[in-house]
Amino acid sequence: MIEQQRTILKPVSMTGIGLHTGTECQMTFKPAAENHGISFVRADLGGMPEIPALADNVVDVSRGTTLGIGDAKVHTVEHVLAAIVGLQIDNIVIELDGIEPPIGDGSSRPYVEALQKAGIEQQTAPKDYLIIDQTIMHHEDDKQIDIVALPLDNYRVTVMVDYQNPALGSQHTGLFDFEKEFATEFAPARTFCFLSEVESLADQGLIKGGDIDNAIVIVDHDLDKRQLDELSKKLRLKTKINLGKNGILNDKELRFRNEPVRHKLLDLIGDLALIGAPLKAQILAARPGHRANVEFAKQVRKLYQQKKLVKKFQLVKKEGVVFDSSAIERILPHRYPFLLVDKIIDLEIDKRVVGVKSVTMNEPFFAGHFPGNPIMPGVLILEAMAQTGGVFLLNSFPNPENKVAYFMQINNAKFRKPVVPGDQLFMEVDMVNKKSKVVSIKGKAYVNDELVAEADFMVAVLDKPNNQKEK
């Protein structure tokens, strides 16, 4: 696999209309610096807002993948992202003067050709691969969707579709070598839909840029000439449409016998670009769609963020330990005698963290609480749970080194058993809710699998005073 980051040599532009909005747009691919990643820029809006191509910025997946921050949005980004990932480009800016990229012929080929025309430049920095080292699964029972990531020292994608519709049937395909196969075998695969979907979308005023030249329409039921003419008018088509004889509207020829499933694979790798890192994994997908793709991308992105977090703070890898005491001191501002977490043994970003505190007779608070009957103060057990939660709270926000967490509320605090010297506290903290600056967490503390304390916390995550911020 390619080991160095890549961008393009020079800017390149293309124009056309968007599939769903039908609006004219000029799109320009521009080189970007190392570690920039992929981002979209709305050049037509004040301030030219930039939207990083990350799963966190997905705002709609109804008929494609839409990214947005505030009022700035970009519709139907998946085909563009597939071209970028397929050519193994890491850093690029996609500048648009409209809300939706040109649809081209409904495939990724026009974008691939433009990027190849611009030329590929190898950069100095190494690629930051996300190496999948455990099985990751996403399942949706109602639609029988399964997406799985398996460990592999490469990037391979296999897709199967089965719409239980005789007009399409079951299809499968696999992409095993991006350099050899992507541009010729998958990039040309065009978007497809059923005739019944086209009627519904047209009635809703969608696919305003749809045309028989930029999509494969699979005939799944009969329409008479009058109905076809009405549909043609709704879509503002310049050419007449007919049901054809090969099962595809206007007898359009397929580029590949299994072109629909190849396009599904194209959509999948475009959506998985939103993880924000190149992958080393085997991806297996059954009946994928944009909603499931993005949910899976969010799940894998959390793993990527967690690995980056561990790599940043844990200098020496230790068996069964996510963060040791040295790493915790790099994360939390607390110090002796008020640092009440010894290590973190489990962490799921924005979900759950487990910390350990070994309680010894040497704790300074035992001198006065209580002489001859040492008991760990309940408020300090709460503090230990809160500090454990702080490990992932502070790193769920940008520039965590310049943030500090403050209690706003402590509710439902209960103390069920005294904690004494020799006990080892296991503190499990779950994320309940996260807003812009306020986080709700639930903490439980155990000794020997027995619950000894619990509480609900509301925490404000704010900027440190200027004189405390890192230079």
Nearest 10 degrees: Cα torsion 226, 230, 236, 240: -10
Residue 196: other Cβ atoms inside 10 A? 16
Q: Give Cα separations from 416 to 363, 413, 423, 450 (angstroms).
A: 21, 10, 14, 9
Of 36, 172, 334, 369, the active-site residue reads: 369
Handedness of CA 274, 280, 281, 282 (dihedral sign): positive
What is the Cα–Cα distance from 385 to 376, expressed in whole angstroms?
13
H/E element holding 389? helix 378-393
Say which DSSP state 366 is in.
G
8 A C-beta contact, residue 271 and residue 293: yes
334 included as an active-site residue:
no
Concatenated DSSP letters of 189-253: PPPEEEHHHHHHHHHTT--TT--TTS-EEE--S---HHHHHHHHHHTT-SS-----SSSBGGGPP
Of 20, 75, 290, 334, the active-site residue reads: 290
369 included as an active-site residue:
yes
Q: Which residues contact 395 (CB under 8 A, 6 or more apart)?
A: 309, 331, 349
> Pairing mode, if any, of strands 424-434 and 438-447?
antiparallel
φ/ψ (deg, to 5) at 307: -65, -40
324 class by beta-carbon count within 10 Å (0-12 exposed, 13-18 middle, 19+ buried): middle
Determine the residue type at 74.
V
φ/ψ (deg, to 5) at 298: -65, -40
The verdict on whether omega for the bond into residue 337 sits within 30 degrees of 0, i.e. cis, is yes
What is the Cα–Cα distance from 205 to 97, expressed in whole angstroms?
22
Nearest 10 degrees: Cα torsion 427, 430, 433, 438: 20
Q: Which residues is 456 bridged to in the sheet?
A: 411, 442
Query: Active-site residue numbers?
Result: 290, 369
